[in-house]
């Protein structure tokens, strides 16, 4: 059993924020693999199904980014999912726009959503860090992540999302390095 988590904020005006890239990935996973209709459960929007003959739950926490761990802890306690079987998709300022890096465990690097998850379940889970880059001009990091993608970025985001989704079977097999290199070399 595997849990896919997409981080973001649940307000309509946040939909195209850089911080909501995790929600976009979960939406694409749901569509590509025909997971169930989203249902409000465990303080999130939950879907379920199978990918590569693996039982998968996918969730978008509705607790806002800074409290994502609350939703995740409730869900994994209910379904008895081990933290090592969790994959979290989130934005990363320190990675160039469009680049993707997958890793197991490690530091939150100041990402509030990851800090919340670490607080509630520990650090032994996988993360797919999707680069949103730093702004070219002097802008506060908080303002940058809450800003919408521009038109050019939205077009590129479609390609990035497609590359991630097409490589999900590799990710589910927990081949994180292969997943990262496959996604970035398409």
pLDDT in tens, 4-44: 999 999 999 999 999 999 999 999 999 999 999 999 999 99
Asked whether residue 71 carries a pLDDT value surpassing 80, the answer given is: yes
Out of 19, 90, 111, 144, which one is annotated catalytic?
Answer: 19
The pLDDT value recorded for residue 42 is: 96
Higher-confidence residue of 110 and 168: namely 168
Contacts of 163 (CB under 8 A, 6+ apart): 100, 182, 183, 184, 186
In the annotation, is 90 catalytic? no
Cα–Cα dist 142/13, whole Å: 16
Phi/psi of residue 168, nearest 5 degrees: -55, -40
Among the listed residues 154, 160, 152, the one whose alpha carbon sits nearest the alpha carbon of residue 186 = 160
Superfamily of domain 2-184: Peptidyl-tRNA hydrolase (3.40.50.1470)
Please report, for the chain, the start and end positions of each structural domain, with discontinuous segments joined by +.
Answer: 2-184
Asked whether residue 78 carries a pLDDT value surpassing 80, the answer given is: yes
Cα–Cα dist 116/112, whole Å: 6
pLDDT tens-digit map of 122-171: 999 999 999 998 877 777 777 888 889 989 999 999 999 999 999 999 99
Q: Reduced to 3 DSSP states, what percent helix, strand and coil does the chain have, rounded to the nearest 5?
A: 45, 25, 30
pTM: 0.95
Strands, sheet with 39-41, edge to edge from the N-terminal-most edge strand: 39-41, 44-51, 54-61, 2-6, 86-92, 126-131, 100-104
Instruction: Pinpoint the alpha helices (H) of the chain.
Output: 21-33, 68-79, 112-121, 141-145, 151-166, 168-172, 176-184
């Amino acid at each position: 059993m595997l849990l896919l988590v997409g981080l973001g904020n649940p307000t309509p005006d946040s939909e195209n924020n850089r911080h909501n890239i995790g929600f976009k990935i979960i939406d694409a996973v749901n569509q590509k693999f025909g997971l169930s209709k989203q249902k409000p459960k465990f303080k999130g929007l939950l879907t379920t199904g199978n990918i590569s003959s693996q039982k998968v739950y996918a969730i978008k926490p509705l607790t806002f980014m800074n409290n994502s761990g609350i939703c995740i802890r409730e869900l994994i306690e209910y379904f008895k999912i081990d933290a090592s079987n969790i994959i979290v998709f989130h934005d990363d300022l320190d990675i160039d726009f469009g680049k993707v890096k997958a890793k197991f465990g490690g530091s939150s690097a100041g990402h509030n959503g990851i800090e919340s998850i670490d607080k509630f379940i520990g650090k032994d889970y996988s993360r797919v860090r999707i680069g949103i880059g730093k702004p070219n001009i002097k802008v506060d990091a908080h303002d940058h992540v809450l800003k919408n993608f521009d038109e050019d970025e939205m077009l590129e985001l479609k390609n990035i999302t497609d590359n991630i989704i097409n490589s999900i079977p590799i990710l589910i097999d927990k081949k994180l390095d292969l997943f990262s290199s496959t996604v970035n070399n398409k």
